[in-house]
Amino acid sequence: MGRKKGPHWHGHRARLRERFRRAGEVALADYELLELLLTYAIPRRDVKLQAKALLERFGSLAGVLAAPEDELQQVEGIGPSASLLIRLVKELGAASLAGELKGRDLVNSPERVVAFARMKFGAEREEHFAVLYLNAKNELIDVEVMQRGTVDRAVVYPRQVAEGALRRGASGVILLHNHPSGHPDPSPEDRVLTGQVAMALRPLEIRLLDHLIVAQGGHFSFREKGLL
């Protein structure tokens, strides 16, 4: 008698891992990357259907990573362990990109700020507003997520930004928020808020260096557009 074969997906998982080891993410389709990730949370099942279902429901890898745990668990076969692992991957990516901001002139490296912002907030379905506090060399002191709003609004008070900058001894500030609509162009309210924050900081001799808006459709920089 021949040896009893294991489940068909054992060999499939091994092949996925080997392809990833050899060539990285370019060797795998998006659903295969998710499938490979899920194997570490769901060790005894074929998870290809779950990976494809996640992409179908949330639209993209970024959408899956940004999805709340309770919504991830609404996909059949995705339990607490898998949803927590997906959230962990997103937070690790954001933390890594935040670490890359340290010790850099962020005014002259806006692409790094945009990469961090898109990882942290780009696919979120609620509006988030964050502040990057910088020293005199435009290097990062701290990141503060100041507000988390509804689908189309985050309430921010210029005084909060000024107080946060004073507490940290910041010389400059970059405002950062996302547009869940997918379009990065600033709303009239965004323009008003930018002016109000600049006015609140000016008497304190703290510079408003930029206001970045990120969305799935790209990003908008007030500084790049000559609006600051």
Examine residue 226 and state whether it is found in any structural domain, yes or no: no
172: domain CATH number? 3.40.140.10
Instruction: Identify whether residues 21 and 110 lie together within a single domain.
Output: no
Same domain (yes/no): 88, 172: no
In a domain, 211, yes or no: yes
Residue 205: Cβ within 10 Å count: 7
62 with 136, same domain? no
Extended beta strands in 20-163, E state: 128-134, 140-148
Domain range for 143 is 106-221
Domain shared by 39 and 134, yes or no: no
Length of the chain, in residues:
228
In a domain, 100, yes or no: no
C-alpha to C-alpha distance for 169 and 136, rounded to whole angstroms: 10
> Per the structure, how many domains does the chain have?
2
- Tell me what pLDDT residue 1 has: 44
Q: Which of 93, 127, 150 is the last residue in one of the domains? A: 93
Which tens digit of pLDDT belongs to each residue from 8-30?
555 777 888 888 888 777 778 89
Q: Which of 36-45, 79-88, 107-116, 216-225 has the highest mean pLDDT?
A: 79-88
**75 and 43 in a common domain:** yes
Residue 101 lies in a domain: no
Q: Mapping DSSP to helix (H, G, I), strand (E, B) and coil, where does residue 180 land?
A: coil
Domain boundary among 32, 67, 93: 93
How far apart are alpha carbons 156 and 214 in whole angstroms? 17
Same domain assignment for residues 187 and 133: yes
125, 60: one domain: no
82 plus 112 within the same structural domain: no
Q: What percent of the chain has pLDDT over 70?
A: 92
Does residue 208 fall inside a structural domain? yes
- List b or e across 6-20, with b for residues whose CB sees 16 or more CB atoms inside 10 angstroms: eeebeeebeebeeeb
Residue 72 neighbours by CB distance under 10 Å: 22
**Residue range 119-146, pLDDT digits in tens:** 887 667 788 889 999 999 999 999 998 8
What residues are paired with 145 via a beta bridge? Answer: 130
Domain membership of residue 204 (yes or no) is: yes
- pLDDT tier at 118, thresholds 50, 70, 90: confident
Q: What is the DSSP letter of 143?
A: E
Percent over 90 (pLDDT), the chain: 44
In a domain, 177, yes or no: yes
Beta strand pairing call for 207-215 and 172-178? parallel
- Name which of 103, 96, 105 is nearest 209 in CA terms: 105
Averaged confidence pLDDT in the chain: 86
* 135 and 209 fall within a common domain: yes
Does the global pTM surpass 0.85?
Answer: no
One domain, residues 125 and 217: yes
In this structure, are 72 and 177 located in the same domain? no
pLDDT at position 124 is: 74
Q: Tokens 């890359």 sit at which residue? A: 100
pLDDT at 76: 92
Judge if 68 and 115 occupy the same domain. no
Distance CA 168, CA 68 (A): 31
Is residue 116 domain-resident? yes
Of 70, 93, 116, the domain-final residue: 93
CATH number at residue 86: 1.10.150
Residue 50: pLDDT band by 50, 70, 90 thresholds?
A: very high
Q: What is the pLDDT of residues 81-115, one digit of tens each?
A: 999 999 899 888 888 888 888 888 888 878 888 88
Give the neighbor-by-neighbor strand order of the sheet with 172-178: 140-148, 128-134, 172-178, 207-215, 218-221
Q: How does pLDDT run across 187-203, given as a tens digit for each residue?
A: 999 999 999 999 999 99
